[in-house]
Structure 1
Amino acid sequence: MKPTSLSPVALKGGFLLSLLFALPASAAPCGRDPAGFESWVAGFRSEAVGEGVSEATVDAALRGVSYNRSVILRDRAQGIFHQSFEQFSRRLLSPSRIAKGKALLQRHAALLGRIEQEYGVPGAVLVAIWGLETGFGADNGNFRSFDALATLAYDCRRSERFRAELLDALRIVDRGYMSPAQMRGDWAGEIGQTQFLPSSYLKYAVDFDRDGKRDLIRNIPDALASTANFLKANGWRRGAGWDEGQPNFPVLLEWNKARVYGETIARFADMLAGGSGGGAE
C-alpha cells in the first residue's frame, strides 16, 4: 500500500511522531520509471514477510527480479479492446482456430463431459476460452511472472491491484504449488493454458485428475476444470444460455471485463456448440 504523504513542515513534535508511528509498514511509493524500482523491491520484501510469506520464499522469488519495460509498453497499448465486436472477433476467430476448437471439443469430449457434470459449464465455453487465451495451450507466454508482476506493482497506474497479485504469486511458491522458475506466463502475470492471475489460481485452481498437483500449465484437465470452477464460483447457471442478454453472459464478463471479449467468447462457443447460447433460456 502506498503510504500517506505527510508534510513535516505542517506537523510538529509529538503529533508528527505519533502519526508516523501509526502508519502501516509498506513498500516504497510507486514509480513511473525504473529509477526507484530496486528501492521499491527492497521495501516490498519486508512487506511480504510481514504478510506471512517466508523469508526463504521471498529471497528465492525476488532474487534478481528486474523492471521490464516491455510489460509497461504492453500495459499502455491495449487499444484492441476498444475495437468493434466485428473487428475484434474477425481477428481472433480465424477459420483455423475454429476448426481446431471443433476438433479438440471432440477429442476431449469425455473429459469435458465430466467437467460439465461437476461444474455445469459446457465444453464449448471452456474450449472457446482455451482457444482465445492461449491458442489451446500453444502460447502460454514466456515472461518471468515475478518480473512482470513486480513491474506492474511498482508502476503507478494499477499498483494496488498488482501489489496484491505479487503477494499471491509469492504465496503460490510459499505453499509449494509452483517454483519461481515455473512461474512464466503472459505480460500481466497470468499463468497457464487459460491464463489465471495468481489470485485466481489460489481461489479456483483444482487438481481435477487427482495427481496431487494443480497444474494449469501442462495439465489440460486441471486447466479446463479450473476454468469451469472459476465460472461456477462467479455465478454460472447450469443449462442457461451465455449469449448477451442471457443469464450466463455476465459471468463471461467476470472472466474478462472487456465486453467485446465476452461477446467473442460467446460467439466462439456458439460456433463450437452448433447453436446460439447453448441453453434453454
Structure 2
Amino acid sequence: MIRTTLAVVMSLGVASTALAAQCGNGPSGFNAWLADFKVEAVQRGIRKSAVDRSLNGVTYSKRVIGYDRNQKSFKLSFDQFWARRVNNAMINRARSYISNNRRMMDRIEKRYGVPPAIVVSVWALETGFGANNGNLPIMQSLATLAYDCRRSDFFTRELLAALQIVDRGDMRPEQMRGAWAGEIGQTQFLAERYVNYAVDFDGDGRRDLMRSVPDVLASTANWFAQNGWQRGQPWGPGTANYNVIGKWNRADVYKRTIAKLAEEIAR
C-alpha cells in the first residue's frame, strides 16, 4: 500500500517546502520514491553532486525494517537494563579516561558547562567508548526508514540532514556507516543532531564524530548545553538537568542509567 506523506517542514539552512514523495509499506515502490526524493532534495538546496554521490545505487533494506519492528531493550526494568549495559570495568575505564585526559575534559566543561562524567557516561553507554559505532550504510538505513510509512516524516528530515553533512564536506557517503536507525559516530548522533550540534573541537576544520574523540565529546557537551543543561547543578531524578538527560533519550531506563552511571564515574 502506498500513501502520501504529511508535509514535512524542516530547517536546514535552506527554504522550507513540503515534500511530495510518497511512503510505502514494502519494497515495491522504493525506487520510484527515491527518484522523486532525489529531485526534491536538490530543490531543497542540496547540491545534485552530493545527492547523487549519497543516494545512487541505494536499495531498500528489509534488515533495517526488521530492526525497527523489534526494539526490546527499552522494555527491560531498570535493574535488568543496568545489569546488561553497565559493569565495574566500564566505570573504571571512564574514570581513568577523565583522569588521563583532564586538560581536554576541563576545556570542554569550561566551554559548555557539562561535567565530564555526563559526557563520558553517554560515550560509554552509546558505543562502549567508540568501539561499537555500527557498520550499516547510513544512507541506506535512512532512505529505507524515510520511505517506510511508520515514521516517514521523522526519517525524511534525518535523510535530508545526512545529505547536508555530505554537502558541506564533513563526511563522504562511504564513511557514513552506523547503527540501524542512521546514528552517526561515537555518541550516536542522528543526522539532524549532527548538523545542529556537532563542533570542530580539535581544530582540523571538520566535525568528525567518527574518529575525533575531542569532536565527539565536545559535540555531546554542546548538545546538552544547547538543550538546557544548568551549569554546576545536580542531575539526579527530579532536577532540571535530569529532564535534559531525558531529551537525549526518552526511554526511562536509559535516562536513569545515564544519570546513575555519571554519579558512579564522578565518585
Same-fold status (TM-score > 0.5): yes
CA distance in 2, matches of 1:183, 1:82: 29
Name which of 217, 227, 230 aligns with 1:234: 227
- Matched residue SS, 1:67: coil
Structure 1, unmatched stretches of 5+, are 5-22, 275-281
**Residue of structure 1 in register with 2:101 after alignment:** 108
Compute the TM-score of the two structures, normalised by the length of structure 1.
Answer: 0.87
1:262–1:47 Cα change, 3 Å: same
Could you tell me how far 1:183 is from its partner in structure 2?
Answer: 1.0
Amino acid at match of 2:67: R
Query: Does 2:188 match 1:195?
Result: yes
Query: Does 2:203 match 1:173?
Result: no
Could you tell me how far 1:2 is from its partner in structure 2?
Answer: 3.3
CA distance in 2, matches of 1:163, 1:183: 17
Which stretch shifts more, 146-155 or 172-181? 172-181
Compute the TM-score of the two structures, normalised by the length of structure 2.
Answer: 0.92
Whether the 8 Å CA contact 1:81–1:258 is kept in 2: the answer is yes
Amino acid at match of 1:111: M
Could you tell me how far 1:96 is from its partner in structure 2?
Answer: 2.2
**1:1-281, aligned counterparts within 5 Å?**
2=4, 26-27=20-21, 29-274=22-267
1:119–1:60 Cα change, 3 Å: same
CA distance in 1, matches of 2:18, 2:107: 47
CA distance in 2, matches of 1:183, 1:156: 24
Amino acid at match of 2:59: S
- Matched residue SS, 2:156: helix
Whether the 8 Å CA contact 1:71–1:151 is kept in 2: the answer is yes
CA distance in 1, matches of 2:207, 2:185: 11
CA distance in 2, matches of 1:35, 1:104: 49
- Matched residue SS, 1:232: helix
Could you tell me how far 1:40 is from its partner in structure 2?
Answer: 0.9
- Matched residue SS, 2:155: helix
Q: Which of structure 1's runs of 4+ aligned residues deviate more than 4 A?
A: none
Could you tell me how far 1:25 is from its partner in structure 2?
Answer: 5.9
Superposed CA RMSD: 1.5
Could you tell me how far 1:145 is from its partner in structure 2?
Answer: 0.6
Whether the 8 Å CA contact 2:126–2:188 is kept in 1: the answer is yes
Amino acid at match of 1:247: A
CA distance in 1, matches of 2:235, 2:63: 35
Query: Which structure's CA Rg is the greater one?
Result: 1
CA distance in 2, matches of 1:146, 1:193: 18
Structure 2, unmatched stretches of 5+, are 7-16
Could you tell me how far 1:158 is from its partner in structure 2?
Answer: 0.4
Could you tell me how far 1:178 is from its partner in structure 2?
Answer: 1.1
Which stretch shifts more, 93-102 or 246-255? 93-102
Could you tell me how far 1:24 is from its partner in structure 2?
Answer: 5.6
Amino acid at match of 1:217: M
